[in-house]
Chains A and B, each alone.
Chain A
Amino acid sequence: MNSKFTDKIATGFFWFVGLSILAILLWFMWEILGKGLPHLSWDFIMGMPEEVMEGGGVGPMLFNSFYILILSLIFSVPLGVGAGIWLAEYAKKNWFTDMVRLSTEMLASVPSIVFGLFGMLVFVTVFGLGFTIIGGAMTLALLNLPVLVRVTEETLRTVPDSYREASAALGATKWQTIRKVLIPTSLPGLVTGITLTAGRALGESAILIFTAGVSVSRFFPDFNLTSSGETLAVHLWYVRSESLVDDAMQIAEGTAALLVLVVLVLNLLIALPSRYYQRKMAGK
Chain B
Amino acid sequence: MPVTEFFFSLDWTPSEGRYGALTFILGSFMVTGLALLMSVPLAVGGAVFMAKIAPSWMREILRPATDLFVGIPSVVYGLIGLTVFVPWIGKTFDSAGFGMLAASLILAIMILPTILSVSEDAIRTLPTSLEEASYGLGATRWQTIYKVLVPAASPGILTGIILGMGRAIGEAMAVQMVIGNSPLLPSGLADQTSVLTTQIVKEMTNSMFGSTVSNALFMMSLVLLLVSLSLIILIRIVARRRAM
Return B38 CB to nearest CB of chain A, in Å. Answer: 12
Q: Which of B3-11, B13-21, B58-66, B186-194 contacts A (4 or more CB under 8 A)?
A: B58-66
Contact B172 A112 (CB under 8 A): yes
Complex alpha-carbon distance, A7 and B116, angstroms:
22
Centre residue among A105, A111, A209, A264 by max chain B CB count within 10 A: A111
Interface SS of chain A:
helix
Contact string against B for A residues 119-153, beta-carbon threshold 8 Å, 1 for contact and 0 otherwise: 01100010000000000000000000000000000
Within 8 A of A (CB), among B130-181: 140-143, 145-146, 166, 169-173, 176-177
Contact B42 A20 (CB under 8 A): yes
Contact partner, A14, options B53, B65, B84, B112, Cβ 8 Å = B53
Contacts A113-B172, A117-B204, A206-B172 hold; do A22 and B61 have CB atoms under 8 A apart? yes
Contact partner, A6, options B58, B80, B140, B200, Cβ 8 Å = B140
Complex alpha-carbon distance, A74 and B21, angstroms:
39
Q: Contacts of B116 on A, CB cut-off 8 Å?
A: 21
A82 within 8 A of B: no
Contacts A3-B140, A31-B83 hold; do A24 and B109 have CB atoms under 8 A apart? yes
Return A88 CB to nearest CB of chain B, in Å. Answer: 19
Complex alpha-carbon distance, A204 and B170, angstroms:
13
Residues of A in contact, count (CB < 8 Å): 61
Contact partner, B205, options A11, A102, A209, Cβ 8 Å = A209
Contact B145 A233 (CB under 8 A): no
Contact A259 B201 (CB under 8 A): no
Q: Contacts of B70 on A, CB cut-off 8 Å?
A: 196, 200
Q: Which of A54-62, A164-172, A234-242, A276-284 contacts B (4 or more CB under 8 A)?
A: A234-242
Complex alpha-carbon distance, A138 and B45, angstroms:
40
A68 within 8 A of B: no
Contacts A109-B228, A117-B204 hold; do A28 and B75 have CB atoms under 8 A apart? no
B50 within 8 A of A: yes
Contacts A114-B225, A203-B74 hold; do A125 and B171 have CB atoms under 8 A apart? no
Return B210 CB to nearest CB of chain A, in Å. Answer: 9
Contact A21 B66 (CB under 8 A): yes
Q: Contacts of A117 on B, CB cut-off 8 Å?
A: 200, 204, 217-218, 221
A18 within 8 A of B: yes
A210 within 8 A of B: yes
B183 within 8 A of A: no
Contact partner, A237, options B49, B78, B84, B143, Cβ 8 Å = B78
Contact A14 B49 (CB under 8 A): yes
Q: Contacts of B225 on A, CB cut-off 8 Å?
A: 110-111, 114
Contact string against B for A residues 1-29, beta-carbon threshold 8 Å, 1 for contact and 0 otherwise: 00110110111011101101110110011
The 4 A-B pairs at the shortest CB distance, nearest first, are namely: A111-B170, A203-B73, A10-B142, A17-B45
Complex alpha-carbon distance, A20 and B61, angstroms:
13
Within 8 A of B (CB), among A180-209: 196, 199-200, 202-206, 209
Q: Contacts of A263 on B, CB cut-off 8 Å?
A: 71-73
Contacts A11-B53, A18-B50 hold; do A202 and B142 have CB atoms under 8 A apart? no
Q: Contacts of A240 on B, CB cut-off 8 Å?
A: 78-79, 82, 177
Contact B221 A114 (CB under 8 A): yes
Within 8 A of A (CB), among B102-147: 109, 112, 116, 140-143, 145-146
23 CB-based A-B contacts, threshold 8 Å: A3-B143, A7-B142, A11-B142, A14-B53, A17-B45, A17-B49, A22-B61, A22-B62, A105-B232, A106-B232, A109-B228, A110-B228, A113-B197, A113-B221, A209-B205, A214-B205, A233-B75, A233-B173, A237-B78, A240-B82, A240-B177, A256-B76, A264-B71
Q: Contacts of B221 on A, CB cut-off 8 Å?
A: 113-114, 117
Q: Contacts of B205 on A, CB cut-off 8 Å?
A: 209-210, 214
A252 within 8 A of B: yes
Complex alpha-carbon distance, A111 and B142, angstroms:
38
Given contacts A7-B142, A10-B146, A14-B48, 19 further A-B contacts (CB under 8 A): A3-B142, A10-B145, A11-B53, A18-B50, A21-B46, A25-B65, A25-B68, A28-B72, A31-B84, A106-B229, A109-B228, A113-B201, A114-B221, A205-B173, A240-B177, A253-B83, A259-B76, A260-B72, A263-B72
